[in-house]
Structure 1
Amino acid sequence: MHHGPTSIWPDFMAGQSEEPVRVLLVDDDEHIRRVIAQELMADPRTLLVAQAASLREGRRAMRLHAFDVLLVDLYLGDGEGFELLQCLKTIHPHAEAVVISLMDDDEQVVRAFELGATGYLVKNSLFGNYAQAVLQVVNGGASITPHLARRLLQRFGAAPAARQDVRDGAGESEPLSLREKEVLGMVASGYTSAEIAARLLISAATVDTHIRNIYRKLQVRTRAQAVRFASLRGLF
């Protein structure tokens, strides 16, 4: 039954039963595709519009179908999912991308975020479900497997060179206000603009204004880039 999740889903958020979030799935593992497809089809807020089992099929599907979120494995039989992340920028620049992979190598995760991904999920780990991940990113949040997020924050937050740069004034950006740091910290925790607004008792429009200011001050274009930059610079 779908009454639980949808009955409390705010009507201003993307993913209503009459207009579900459209998803394109690219993974060469048939079993994983079946599992993800079942989860997406079980939630009326998400709609699986197409599946692909290879890099070549993925490229074709991206051109044939309209979609809001790309779920993509990094290792496909005939190439790497990184190529699809690059293609996404030109074919569907407004679509979100979430990587699904068995690998959680830090460098691969960082590369995926640099290519514009707003989520990174490690298969066979605890992170909720794929429908929730899709809804998170399409509503302005980030979706990342919890233990991976913690490891990355520890890694970047512990980088002595980055902290030394801040002390020495090297590579300084315009300083963030206390409220902007607070908003950025919540973005890093995966909260959507609406959730941040509710927690801070401000409007979603005000949250979006803070996020735009954060982008401008840090000279970044995506939430993932903002979080990574802030972690490297020890801003929170």
Structure 2
Amino acid sequence: MAIFPPEPRMAGVTLKLQDVGASEGRFGGHGGAPSVWPDFLKGQADCPVRVLLVDDDAHIRLVIAQELMSDPRTLVVAQASSLREGRKAIKQHEFDVLLVDLHLGDGEGFELLDYMKTVRPSAEAVVISVMENDDEVLRAFERGATGYLGKNSWFGNYPQAVLQVVNGGASITPNLARRLLQRFDKTHVDQPTRHESVEVDRLSDREKEVLRMVASGYTSAEIATNLLISGMTVNTHIRNIYRKLQVRTRAQAVRFASLRGLF
């Protein structure tokens, strides 16, 4: 297992904007903190926001780490390159924000979102991904992420995303936000067919309760704890929900139920 600590900030090298392969026009001047940063917000130079970075691409990790370390308000405390290393890093290091790629060499970053909420429940998570698949975005938010950044996006930057989520906000690129808004706007025009209404009616009261908790972002383990049932029973309910609604993912089930007025 190899967790790569960041280079010390006082290593005799001052990182400039061009060092991370960006321009002022692309990232809006992210080379340092603004001249005025309210002292009531988290992320002060004497107490920066601690970040754990998990990505299986060494070059991407270097670029992101340099960008974060160039801002005195953010500090990379550890890095990991796989699902296995990520789990160990989450357990071993104190951090405020997890930056995690969804597609790791030995598994999916979704597993780290679940694990983080168990081990570091107060920490925030921002997903970073080359792809901006709508279903993956919704699934990430269902698992507790409060931000989603496309690695190739022209909007925003990593320090900004970290500072937003740690201060109670959410971070999402404008083009992705627009797509999601358009997707959910269909709730005003989609009307359930008789067949679809029958499918929703076929859900038992317990299945509807589980689905509402899934929509609220609870993990299977949390649902089991709240309903005083086993995790196996929860998963059985979820499989039955998928079958009855004829969907394949949590995001699809939640959207289907929302469109049909279940919530």
TM over 0.5: yes
- Aligned: 1:43 with 2:71: yes
- Aligned: 1:65 with 2:93: yes
Partner of 2:212: none
Q: What secondary structure, in the 3-state scheme, does the structure 2 residue paired with 1:124 have?
A: coil
Structure 1, residues 66-88: CA drift from partner, whole Å, max 9, x if none?
00000000000000000000101
Structure 1 residue 159: Cα displacement: 3.0
Structure 1 residue 103: Cα displacement: 1.3
After TM superposition, the structure 1 = structure 2 runs for residues 169-188 of structure 1, keeping only pairs within 5 Å, are: none
On the 8 A contact 1:119/1:137 being kept in 2, the answer is: yes
The residue type paired with residue 100 of structure 1 is: I
The residue type paired with residue 85 of structure 2 is: E
On the 8 A contact 1:6/1:45 being kept in 2, the answer is: no
- Aligned: 1:81 with 2:109: yes
Partner of 1:210: none
The residue type paired with residue 70 of structure 1 is: L
Q: What secondary structure, in the 3-state scheme, does the structure 2 residue paired with 1:7 have?
A: coil
The residue type paired with residue 79 of structure 2 is: Q
After TM superposition, the structure 1 = structure 2 runs for residues 120-131 of structure 1, keeping only pairs within 5 Å, are: 120-131=148-159
Structure 1 residue 5: Cα displacement: 2.7
After TM superposition, the structure 1 = structure 2 runs for residues 71-150 of structure 1, keeping only pairs within 5 Å, are: 71-150=99-178
Structure 1 residue 127: Cα displacement: 2.0
On the 8 A contact 1:17/1:44 being kept in 2, the answer is: yes
* TM-score for the superposition, normalised by structure 1: 0.68
The residue type paired with residue 80 of structure 1 is: E
2:89 & 2:150 partners in 1: Cα distance?
23
On the 8 A contact 2:142/2:217 being kept in 1, the answer is: no
Q: What secondary structure, in the 3-state scheme, does the structure 2 residue paired with 1:159 have?
A: helix
Structure 1 residue 105: Cα displacement: 1.0
Structure 1, residues 108-147: CA drift from partner, whole Å, max 9, x if none?
1000000000000011111221011100100011001110
2:48 & 2:84 partners in 1: Cα distance?
27
Summarize the Cα distance change of 1:160–1:140 in structure 2 as closer, same or farther, 3 Å threshold. same
Summarize the Cα distance change of 1:139–1:162 in structure 2 as closer, same or farther, 3 Å threshold. farther
1:114 & 1:34 partners in 2: Cα distance?
29
**Structure number with higher helix proportion:** 1
Percent sequence identity is: 68
In the alignment of these two chains, the number of paired residues is 178
The higher radius of gyration belongs to: 2
On the 8 A contact 2:42/2:49 being kept in 1, the answer is: yes
Equivalent of residue 28 in structure 1, options 56, 66, 82? 56
After TM superposition, the structure 1 = structure 2 runs for residues 172-211 of structure 1, keeping only pairs within 5 Å, are: none
Summarize the Cα distance change of 1:79–1:3 in structure 2 as closer, same or farther, 3 Å threshold. closer
Moved >6 Å (runs of 4+) = 1-4, 161-164
- Structure 2: state its 5+ residue gaps: 1-15, 17-29, 193-199, 201-214, 219-253
Q: What secondary structure, in the 3-state scheme, does the structure 2 residue paired with 1:140 have?
A: coil
- Structure 1: state its 5+ residue gaps: 165-169, 171-218, 223-227
Partner of 1:155: 183
